[in-house]
Homo-oligomer: A and B are copies of this chain.
Amino acid sequence: MAVYTEVGDEELDRFIAEYDLGAVLSCKGIAEGVENTNYLLQTDQGNFILTLYEKRVSEGDLPFFLGLMEHLAGKGIPCPTPVHGRDGAALRRLCGRPAAIVTFLTGMWPRRIKTEHCAEVGRALAALHVASQDFTMTRHNALSVDSWRALLEASAGRAFEVQDGLADILYQELDHLESNWPTGLPSGICHADLFPDNVFFIGESLSGLIDFYFACNDFFAYDLATCLNAWCFERDRSFNITKARGMLSAYRSVRAFSDAELAALPVLARGSALRFLLTRLYDWLHQSEGAIVRPKDPLEYLAILQFHQGITRPGAYGLD
């Protein structure tokens, strides 16, 4: 995306003066991130990201997101650390929007996924799940199974514009998931959006996890299923079992699976596929005139969903 909110000189100066960051050397809008306005801010003291939260992020959730990043960074998870102002606050306002400064992470998100990337992601996700166990704030997952029917109803009437018969397929799947959604699995803080563009690498080593603005409490295995879907399918929509095996065994080396989690993986993977299919479908059908963000293809996630519909046991994901 392009910068959404242009920050004026005096506004920036007044904002930065609230921090002990030294003189500003540069502040450039960066063309990454879909939800918020992000500037790469360089000061005497290093590089930072200045984020202005646009309307898609609920202001009431920001203390949770910033608190979580701070908690995780304190535990050694390579995620952005909120910078506190001299008054102690990490969250303030700029140009009429909530805004925060976080530390800058080096690395680049991988455009071409290798098995080594998938293993690193599995390991990092497990470490995040473990590190957040004593984080005391909670946030309900507003995009889990209890929200999907309303989301589908908002798109069903026009789903045929994307593919004939799509609404029927989705209603059937939703019926199945609502009846078979697991309960009582190990749960805690999930990133919930750990797609490749939210993970930085230097070479094949993971250097950063970013964009915690979907983080919430849910089943750990659901978070892992989201990563399986985001990282282990090829551009031709085929499943790469080598990548999946790499991700799952790396995850397991840091946090052991319970039998119930393993058994639930196929249904969780179907659920996560439906969740992204539904939000993409909604965005696809509700594009605003002159939008600068090209919506993602919902049908990519139909292919992923249909793959998982054919799976009956987690061995199909490369686990023995």
Contact = CB atoms under 8 A, between A and B. Distances in A.
A104 B25 CA distance: 11
A260 interface: no
Q: Which of A1, A10, A108, A202 has the most CB of B within 10 A?
A: A108
Interface string A289-320: 00010000000000000000000000000000
A40 to B, nearest CB: 6
Contacts of A9: 108, 110-112
A106 interface: yes
A10 B213 CA distance: 30
B30 A108 contact: no
Contact of A202 (B3, B23, B110): B23
Nearest to A201: B9
A42 interface: yes
A24 interface: yes
Contacts of A203: 23
Give the number of times this chain occurs in the complex, counting copies: 2
Looking at A7, A10, A30, which has the most chain B CB atoms within 10 Å of its CB?
A: A30
Contacts of A47: 42
Nearest to A10: B112
Given A2-B1, A8-B112, A107 B31 contact: no
A108 B10 CA distance: 12
Nearest to A27: B108
Interface in A10-50: 10, 12, 23-32, 40, 42, 47
A259 interface: no
A1 B31 CA distance: 8
Interface of A: 1-3, 6-10, 12, 23-32, 40, 42, 47, 104, 106-108, 110-112, 200, 202-203, 292
Q: Top 9 nearest A-B pairs by Cβ distance? A: A29-B31, A25-B106, A3-B31, A8-B111, A2-B31, A2-B2, A28-B30, A31-B31, A26-B106
